[in-house]
Amino acid sequence: MERLPGFRDFYPEPLPHQDVWSADARQFIFDTWRTVARRYNFREYDGPPLEPLELFTTKSGEEIVGQLYNFADKGARNVALRPEMTPTLARMVAAHERNYKKPIKWFALPQLFRYERQQKGRLREHFQFNADIIGEADPAADAELIALLIDTLRAFGLTEQDLVIRLSSRNAWHDFFKHGGGDMAHEYAFYQIVDKLEREAPESSDEKLRALGFSLEAVNTFIEKGAPTVELQSILDNLAARGLRSFAKIDYRVIRGLAYYTGVVFEAFDAKGEFRAIAGGGRYDNLVKLISGDKVNLPALGFGMGDVVLLEILKSRGRLPQFDSHVDVFILIEDEALRPPALKLTQDLRTAGFAVEYPLTPAKSDKQFKRAQELKAGFTAKLESDSYVRIRNLKTREEIVAGFADAANHLK
Ligand code: HAM
């Protein structure tokens, strides 16, 4: 049986085949995401992977809705696997925001599902680091979030030579559209044309823009000018104070596809432009209000960083660590009569927090030692009697004999 296209099998390293994914690399990415989020005082939350279809159809915008995995469940409810986390977060915050001091700073590592055309960097399932700040309208919150985005990528060893954060604002585009005499009913349609400028033929973009009363030339002139709005300038100044200014540049080609964004938007890319976006996000000040049926009104902003493109970039830049097994001690059982005390020692050392392995069934002593080496164990522990053990450091080759009760101390 084959797995479904666009879905992944995660194997422990060393990988048996180039067509499978590394469970160790995934864990490394998750650990790094969590570590940096906590440095910024973000708290972890999660929601259901299956949601009412309606949560996404009214709020996310055409593109993502066209990619939904949706069906009617056995109770005839229309449901969908989550394609993104933001509507779930808005629902959760709206339900219990009074229990939390503002600004709320939360993160999650959901698995998301989108029925996309498969291509480089795009699968039908991915994991996404989501970090969001709710309840603060000041651009200081945008800067804090963008700093977290930059620091997360730096924590993987990426530098300003590897990365660029393209900063933009729908407010700037809103003013451009309004002052250019655009019909406000078509504003989102206009944003979608801008969103696709880099992927579509210029003639086709120009034709679509003209239907809304604009030209590609005017749009390109606005992009090239790239004059920061007041809020974007304050974000740049804030990043400069942190020493992170060089990672960001104003780029109005970024406008984001999702329907709910209202202000500052941004995307993170590799500096050479070889890969698709690593992360994207922005302000969505009306979404909580919309999802709560006008009951709760809170400004919000956030970003999502996918694991797929990130992993491609880390691989290409040689930034992934070597993944070895984590065995601290391998217990050698050469005399089967000593198996019961060996099990006792195994248990004691595991309780003390060591990763311990031993032969499950009788085996020749050279085989046991070979296994300890394959597992890159730090130590072997050979039982000398039912209460003494010979501990050997496999790196320094030092040996000592210790009583069972002292074994853990010697290993520390
Ligand atoms: P998004 O731009 O749709 O934003 O996704 C964010 C990131 O997730 C992308 O930059 C990409 O790295 C990754 N990604 C998206 N789709 C796929 C896919 N099919 N395969 C692999 N990776 C993918 C959002 O989802 C927003 N909800 C982010 C956000 C949070 N905005 C505010 N808060």
Question: Sheet containing 399-403: which strands, arranged edge to edge?
Answer: 356-357, 329-332, 379-383, 388-393, 399-403
CB 314 within 8 A of CB 370: no
pLDDT means per 10 residues, the chain with 412 residues, are: 95 92 97 98 98 86 84 96 97 98 98 92 96 98 98 97 97 95 93 92 95 95 96 98 98 92 97 95 97 96 98 96 91 95 96 97 96 95 93 95 90 86
Side chain identity, residue 238: N
Q: Which domains does the chain have, with CATH numbers?
A: 10-316 (3.30.930.10), 329-411 (3.40.50.800)
Helix, strand, coil abundance in the chain, percent, nearest 5: 40, 20, 40
Q: Which of 42, 126, 129, 313 most suits a substitution to test ligand 1, by most atoms within 8 Å of the C-beta?
A: 126
Q: Is any ligand 1 atom within 6 A of the Cβ of residue 262?
A: no
Q: Report CA(128)–ligand 1 centroid distance (Å).
A: 7
SS3 at position 404: helix
Would you state the pLDDT for residue 280? 98
Residue 327 DSSP symbol: -
SS3 at position 371: helix
Q: Is any ligand 1 atom within 6 A of the Cβ of residue 307?
A: no
Would you state the pLDDT for residue 71? 94
- Whose tokens are 């006792």? That residue is 344
- Whose tokens are 């009569």? That residue is 337
CB 85 within 8 A of CB 47: yes
Going by alpha carbons, the residue nearest to atom 32 of ligand 1 is: 302
Would you state the pLDDT for residue 412? 85
User: Count of residues for the chain?
Assistant: 412
Would you state the pLDDT for residue 259? 87
Peptide bond into 87 cis (omega under 30): no
Residue 121 DSSP symbol: T
Would you state the pLDDT for residue 326? 84
